[in-house]
Amino acid sequence: MLNSLRLFILILFVPKLLSAQFLPTEGEQVNYRIIGFSYPQEKNTAKKYKLEFAAGNYSSDSLFNLGIFKTEVCYKSTSILELPYFDKEYTWRVVYYNKNGSQSKSKLQHFSTGYFRGIDTCNIRLKILKPAVKYKDDYVFIDGSNVLYDMKGNPVWYLPMQKREDKSNAQIRDLKTSPQGTITFMLNQHAYEMNYNGDTLWRGPDDGAVNGEDSERYHHEMTRMSNGHYMILGTEHVFWDHVVKPVDSSFSVDGDEPKPLGTTPAQRKKTPFGTIIEYDEKGKVVWSWKSSGYFMNSDVVNFMPEGMSKVIDVHENAFFFDEKDSVIYLSFRNISRILKIKYPEGNIVNTYGEIFKPGIPPSGNGLFCDQHGIRRSKEGHLYLYNNNACNDATALPTILIMDEDKGGKDSLTKIWEYQCNIEGINVSPLLKKAWAKKQLLRQTQKELKSLKGSLLHVTTGGNVIEMPDKSIFACMNAQYGKIFIVTRDKKILWEAIPEKYNQGDDQWYITSNQYRASIITPKELHRLIYNSMNVRNQ
């Protein structure tokens, strides 16, 4: 039994490639600089291999020999190497050192690295404010640019546009790796899984099987579970007696900018409630949950936001599935609430946030507001990115860690908090005006003018991830864009800002479309590469 278990683990985690062809294939264009190379071996006679590389497209050995700039000796027929440039042609070959002492050489092989605007560091860059030491070998996915960077800010991979089924310029969200060594993300209310090479492995059915509409309208977050299933947030539109004005245009049925709604039956529209959908690998719904069943009979009907008309927005913006304890934590930004849902029963275990009472305006829950990125730590604590903008539009976001047990049912106790800073952030004047125009602040125009160019608070995006040493990897929201790693004793281990160059005034400004970020180790990157190579060699 023990030997069988060891064999299973070996097969699962140790790359074993068929080596049926050269990878990259002849003439192929790849979307990365960290490349998995595969090369045939004849009758297992080679004891080592030397890979030789030249920048350019060469057809003769003599010219190739003159252009060689990199060599690498390997002892197996696969290797992962980093080459220096995107948008470049490369020629390479393998020198076989055989066990009988002889040498042989493969034919010259050719491939190129592609180009994408997001990896052009003259236009978009990841500016490093504090270099990494402990995590210097890790990599960061930035969904605002659709790029994977090393910790020095060098782009090493990008999501290839030509391989996307939806080729619009819409925002990529929740770009991250799965437990199966693949890449998942959201695009235009669709859900995708791809390999490192950019090939689509799975796409959410989006057939309305749960909400009964023409589309499930996936949004914000998807996660591939350890059992291979997919869990995704969706939207369901239901008539409700309470007027709702969505803040996020992705939740309107027709895709138009949200507009204030009237109160008469003729002016009513369907309310966008949330759904959680679990699919198996074939796209079949195996479990689902709808927030409408909870909210339409909850205290939220008493919610009295600021303004002349009652406006309730109950769209969900993040979830975390604790597979060990079989519970789901579901975040609702605009009412500052988190639900703890028992899986698969679907009943509400705990409710975290302010309980709204008839005739009493909301006063806040004293902990978090407009939160994103809810997660649970290995110690069993809840932690999140707190946009912190309910009472003060200029308040800085924080990262919160909270205990569920100390305060009793339906209450949380803060055990750690870190206030994010805005040092090094440069905001363009046009972006400030856009924020004001869209009225994303709870400020009057008079108050807005009094800010005199200070950063204006926007509550879109942001996420947090616990690191192995219990430090927190954090991505600030779309307003700030800053990404950093902070220890529990509040020391910054690494800090960076995604920026875009403005030719008009020769300035670099934060990118306005940064929503989330994720971090991976070299081991996880290698698994992405080997998994992609395995599929292509079959």
Per-residue pLDDT for 538 more than 80? no
386 CB-near residues (< 8 Å, 6+ apart): 367, 368, 369, 370, 371, 397, 398, 399, 400
Q: Which pLDDT does position 500 carry in this prediction?
A: 92
- 151 and 132 in contact (C-beta within 8 Å)? yes
In angstroms, the CA 473 to CA 166 distance is 30
User: Which ranges of 334-467 does DSSP label H, i.e. alpha helix?
Assistant: 429-437, 445-450
Per-residue pLDDT for 428 more than 50? yes
- 174 and 191 in contact (C-beta within 8 Å)? no
In angstroms, the CA 496 to CA 478 distance is 14
Read out DSSP for 299-318? GGGG---SSSS--------E
Per-residue pLDDT for 398 more than 50? yes
Helix (H) or strand (E) holding 486: strand 483-486
Domain residue ranges of the chain, discontinuous segments joined by +: 20-115, 204-363
Structure token pair of residue 121: 């560091």
Torsion of CA 394, 398, 404, 409, to 10 degrees: 0
- The string of pLDDT tens digits covering residues 98-113 is 888 889 999 999 999 9
Mean pLDDT of 325-340: 95
3-state SS assignment for residue 430: helix
Question: Looking at per-residue confidence, does 255 or 363 come out higher?
Answer: 363
Beta bridge partners of 508: 501
Per-residue pLDDT for 499 more than 50? yes
Q: Is 146 left (phi over 0), alpha (psi -120 to 50) or beta?
A: left
Mean pLDDT of 166-182: 84
3-state SS assignment for residue 113: strand
Question: Looking at per-residue confidence, does 538 or 280 come out higher?
Answer: 280
Mean pLDDT of 432-450: 48
Read out DSSP for 181-233? S-EEEEETTEEEEE-TT--EEEE---S-TTTSSS-----S-EEE-TTS-EEEE
Beta bridge partners of 203: 192
In angstroms, the CA 55 to CA 231 distance is 43
In angstroms, the CA 462 to CA 331 distance is 13
**Burial (CB count within 10 angstroms: exposed 0-12, middle 13-18, buried 19+), residue 100:** exposed
Mean pLDDT of 331-339: 93
Q: Which pLDDT does position 306 carry in this prediction?
A: 56
What string of H, E and C letters represents the secondary structure of 77-89? CEEEEECCCCCEE
Q: Which pLDDT does position 408 carry in this prediction?
A: 72
Among candidate residues 376, 387, 332, the one with its CA nearest the CA of residue 354? 332
Per-residue pLDDT for 176 more than 60? yes
Mean pLDDT of 391-409: 83
Confidence band of 128 (pLDDT split at 50, 70, 90) = very high
In angstroms, the CA 294 to CA 351 distance is 11
Mean pLDDT of 3-31: 62
- The string of pLDDT tens digits covering residues 259-276 is 444 444 444 568 889 999
Q: Give how far the C-alpha of residue 360 lies from the chain's centroid of Cα atoms, to the nearest Å.
A: 38
As a whole-number percent, the residues of the chain with pLDDT over 90 amount to 62
- 522 and 530 in contact (C-beta within 8 Å)? no
Q: Give how far the C-alpha of residue 15 lies from the chain's centroid of Cα atoms, to the nearest Å.
A: 26
- The string of pLDDT tens digits covering residues 238-250 is 988 765 444 444 3
The strand ranges marked E within 31-87 are 34-38, 46-55, 68-74, 78-82
Confidence band of 511 (pLDDT split at 50, 70, 90) = confident
Q: Which pLDDT does position 522 carry in this prediction?
A: 97
Confidence band of 16 (pLDDT split at 50, 70, 90) = very low
- The string of pLDDT tens digits covering residues 337-379 is 999 999 999 999 999 998 888 888 888 888 999 899 999 999 9
Among candidate residues 226, 238, 405, 219, the one with its CA nearest the CA of residue 330? 219
Q: Which pLDDT does position 307 carry in this prediction?
A: 47
Per-residue pLDDT for 406 more than 60? yes
> Per the confidence metrics, is the pTM higher than 0.95?
no
Q: Which pLDDT does position 252 carry in this prediction?
A: 39
| Architecture of the domain made up of 20-115 | Sandwich (2.60)
- 170 and 187 in contact (C-beta within 8 Å)? yes
In angstroms, the CA 132 to CA 137 distance is 8
In angstroms, the CA 534 to CA 526 distance is 12
Mean pLDDT of the chain: 85
In angstroms, the CA 338 to CA 323 distance is 18
Q: Which pLDDT does position 380 carry in this prediction?
A: 93
Which of 278-282, 286-290, 443-447, 529-533 shows the lowest mean pLDDT across its residues? 443-447
Question: Looking at per-residue confidence, does 202 or 479 come out higher?
Answer: 202
